[in-house]
Chains A and B, each alone.
Chain A
Amino acid sequence: MKEEIRILEGREKQVYEKKSGNTEIDIACDTTSLSGSVSQRACVFCGSRVVLYPVADAIHIVHGPIGCAAYTWDIRGAVSSGPELHRLSFSSDLGEMDVIYGGEKKLYRSLIELIDQYKPNAAFVYSTCIIGLIGDDIDAVCRKVEKEKGIPVMPVHSEGFKGTKKDGYKAACTALMKLIGTGSTEGISKYSINILGEFNLAGEAWIIREYYEKMGIQVVATMTGDGRIDAIRRSHGASLNVVQCSGSMTSLAKEMEEKYGIPFIRVSYFGFEDMSKSLYDVAQYFGEKEEIMEKAKVIVREEIQRYYPEMQKFKKALTGKKAAIYVGGAFKTFSLIKALRTIGMSVVLAGSQTGNKDDYNRLKEMCDEGTVIVDDSNPVELSKFILEKEADLLIGGVKERPIAFKLGVGFCDHNHERKIPLAGFIGMYNFAKEVYESVMSPVWQFAPRKGGLQ
């Protein structure tokens, strides 16, 4: 007998189904996860770690017991065009005695040894849960090492339990703010931007950077994809901040606006529609120089022409198929809904780990009738809706992948571990191709939901 899956008490307000008459959306979000609910979220540390991870010429040392460093070793597909210090995993590896007597000395020695060995341009020191309890003064250790070694050493206050992943983003932005403004802004053009919230997964930042450069715009710093300390230090010289992944980097953009008067715009590089808009919006900002817009138009035209014919093949096959989306930030879901529509697919479930009220309201407006919207969901809920809504595809990360495959549903990894760029025009093509290859695979004929043996 099929048993009914009920939403956990205390989570009802984080699930919403769009129906006619059901206009009120007051989805509860921005809360910590419910105890005992198997949240797909991580912790404060995770938030900081993902944001800063791609800075490639700094060492990243995790202050705490070994687990947090071990589980984040080489975890993202964020690539570098030069140094690759970010792909190493460093931990002060605190043992029982360190927990009792304090870990400051061990952290100090670790930093000195690692800086001597790897000669980084900076160091980030992440505090983990236990540091918040034993009271190590990591700020003092960082100051001391900074003074002795002559490179910036930034404490990142990312104790896992002190909030949600979003607080980790903030802690990372605080660390970045310490760097910004310390470099020379010489040689920075009036037509210049920083790319924020782009992590260069599978080289995506390079694709985006190339578009902007083709438009005649100088990219001062990418934060943090293929990140370099020197570029970050002088990023306050840029004229505009272009922010993707609103969850992680908006606070930094706001601080930079306040402190350096740099305005920001929010963009997304996923899907033809949003990708084009991100080029046009930047061109419009620099409207006084018309050729920037001209060039943007050329790029958009040429790129779409290049991929459009192939896309029609995918669209023909995928029209009428249904997708479920569960990703980290809500902003990404907006682009994905549009991108899926481009290839004929509708969205039956949309959710995120960390969306806020505005995000969910916007999501509601975008979605079709019957679409379920969830905040901070869990495997049981996701499966319930995937099956009820008969989704053909799930878009998510590593933790969601086996749910899809178990149930005989196609899957597209839109998270840190992707190896194929999904941003930019070429990224949209790759995305459509990946969706096509997963949804149309003949292997699903054996899945129980398609009548296969269980």
Chain B
Amino acid sequence: MMTETTAKTATQNACRLCNPLGACLAFKGIEKCVPFLHGSQGCATYIRRYLISHYKEPIDIASSNFNEETAVFGGSHNLKLGLKNVTQQYKPDVIGIATTCLSETIGDDVQMILREYEAAFGSDGPMPEMIFASTPSYQGSHIDGFHAAVRSAVKTLAEGGAEKHLVNIFPGMISPADIRYLKEIFTDFGLPFVLLPDYSQTLDGGPWAEYHRIPKGGTPRNAISSTGSAAASIEFGSTLEASKSAAGYLEDQFGVPRLHMALPIGIRETDRFFEILEKLTEKPAPEKYLDERRRLVDAYADGHKYAFGKKAIVYGEEDLVISVASFLDEIGIVPVLCASGGKSGLMKNKLGELIPDMEEKGIKVRHGVDFVDIENETAVLQPDLLIGNSKGFTMSKNSRLPLVRIGFPIHDRFGGQRLHHLGYRGTQELFDRIVNTIIEQRQNASPIGYTYM
């Protein structure tokens, strides 16, 4: 079976976002950091609006606000003025600068501009750290921008050293609830760690008595510095290559081993994650997690009949799709189509590593597709449900298929930032939601009105 892409020229209802969005999201996970887009005002505003609709938090993203002159003569002046203004207004420790299609196309040398800026203002007192990620919107998708920003943070700040007492965790683009859960796991293992990026509080925090220019939380700058002296890095994301990743950089530069795995969703992948933690700590997993696992196995048994033989279409970021598909496979739901707007070209092989017999099982993979392509597949594949972000709602409505909302963005439901996906706990939540969706469908379709399902 071939990995199919699309035959259409125009993209219709895109199943991906642009590169700079991911970088802004990652920068929100660094303590006292202001994301800064080098481009038009619209990029920052649209991305803010898009993120706010999911996270329901104030999300400030500065812009260098290109005008016609900037586009002709270069963005140097605007960038420097912008950095100065952001420094004055936000007093950040870090400014996370990402490019856009505009600044990339005119060929601004951001690194040189930053050096000039530091030379000009460095003597005025402490400067915020400048982390720069190149994120041209005409390449890749938001997930590439996310990883580029994380890698660049590490590249800018990490220092080598002999301590080797902590472990880095680069989980990729996951929910604030997932981040909190991962931190809980590391803490319960008694394992010192640096998690990057940590937007669990900046994008899902409490009420304020006064306006916080930068919300509390995030990975501290000095913690990022210490990633170079870690004993190992755990990095999630099946299609994330070492050459583009933070852990890959640390391995190359400082010899920190990169322990790379899929996002731990489902029992098989979560077991793998806990095995890594057990090996690193030389301790068994805390009983609490074994209990979570036991409850999950028990729930699998209780709910297996609802799930078995059902067909699902899974879509979204490639790594999320791969791990969700692997989880569906272990509960007897066939992910008849695994679709993504991403174009790493690795999706099929990486999924094959988790589900070796995927072809016999009738699992199809399509990358670089949009929602119209996926909707067309619903007619052919006749799935029982759709699993993905809330942008699939249009297709779900048109095809009258239930939609289980996961990942990002969730713009049409409440609490997307608090959904769990990872580990035994996240799998439990996903399993409950999927089974309930199937039950609800069945209940609604029956004229009898069963009150026990």
Q: Which residues in A have some Cβ–Cβ distance to B below 8 Å?
A: 2, 5, 8-10, 32-46, 61, 64-74, 87-96, 98-99, 106, 109-111, 113-114, 128-130, 132-134, 160-163, 378-380, 383-384, 387, 398-399, 401-403, 405-408, 446-449, 452, 454
Contacts and interface: CB of A to CB of B under 8 A. Distances in A.
Given A2-B210, A5-B211, A72 B46 contact: yes
Contact of B85 (A34, A45, A87): A34
Nearest to B343: A95
A34 B42 CA distance: 13
Q: Point out which of B9, B52, B85 has the most chain A C-beta atoms below 10 A from its C-beta.
A: B9
B28 interface: no
B148 interface: no
A345 to B, nearest CB: 22
Contacts of A162: 67-68
Contact of A8 (B56, B83, B88, B210): B88
Given A46-B46, A160-B102, A70 B65 contact: no
B208 A454 contact: yes
Nearest to A89: B13
Contacts of A37: 62, 65, 85, 89
Interface in B56-82: 56-68, 70-71, 78-79, 81-82
Contacts of A90: 10-12
Contacts of B85: 8-10, 34-37
Contacts of A378: 60
Contacts of A403: 58, 211
A95 B140 CA distance: 8
B33 to A, nearest CB: 14
B186 interface: no
B24 to A, nearest CB: 12
A160 B52 contact: no
A92 B207 CA distance: 42
B111 interface: no
Nearest to A444: B207
Given A91-B14, A106-B9, A399 B49 contact: yes
Contact of B58 (A32, A98, A406): A406
Contacts of A95: 138-139
Contacts of B433: none
B391 interface: yes
Interface string B76-100: 0011011111101110000000001
Given A99-B138, A162-B68, 18 more contacts: A35-B81, A36-B82, A36-B85, A37-B89, A41-B41, A42-B41, A43-B40, A65-B136, A66-B16, A72-B46, A94-B138, A161-B68, A161-B102, A379-B58, A406-B207, A407-B210, A448-B207, A454-B207
Top 6 A-B residue pairs of the complex, sorted by shortest distance between their CB atoms: A43-B42, A67-B18, A36-B85, A36-B82, A383-B211, A110-B10
Contacts of A74: 394
B71 A133 contact: yes
Contact of B9 (A113, A405, A406): A113
Given A65-B138, A129-B39, A129-B102, A92 B46 contact: no
Interface in B165-207: 206-207
B136 A96 contact: yes
Given A41-B41, A99-B138, A9 B88 contact: yes
Contacts of A93: 10-11, 14
Contacts of B84: 36
B136 to A, nearest CB: 7
A452 B209 CA distance: 9
B213 interface: yes
Which of B63, B88, B106, B207 lies at the interface centre, i.e. has the most chain A CB atoms within 10 A of its CB?
B207
Given A130-B138, A452-B207, A66 B18 contact: yes
A398 B53 contact: yes
Nearest to B58: A402
Nearest to B44: A38
Contacts of B289: none
Contacts of A92: 9-11
